[in-house]
Amino acid sequence: MDQPLKVLCELGGWKTPHTILQCYQQADEDQLRKVLQDRRKPGSRPI
């Protein structure tokens, strides 16, 4: 779900984001691969 953490807390009735971060938001392999592919190489400059 691509919603701000604050919105998820309000919708779920949580006072702090701890429960969401620990129990509900888990990275999947596709997300991890995308982050690794999109990261800049050391010393490279943005175009």
Q: Give the C-alpha separation, 16 to 22, whole Å.
A: 11
Q: Give the C-alpha separation, 44 to 31, whole Å.
A: 23
pLDDT of residue 29: 93
Question: Residue 25: helix, strand or coil by DSSP?
Answer: coil
pLDDT of residue 27: 83
Read off the pLDDT of residues 1-47 as tens digits, 9 standing for 90 and up.
Answer: 578 999 999 999 999 999 888 888 888 899 899 889 888 776 666 66
**What six digits make up the tokens of 39?**
């990261």
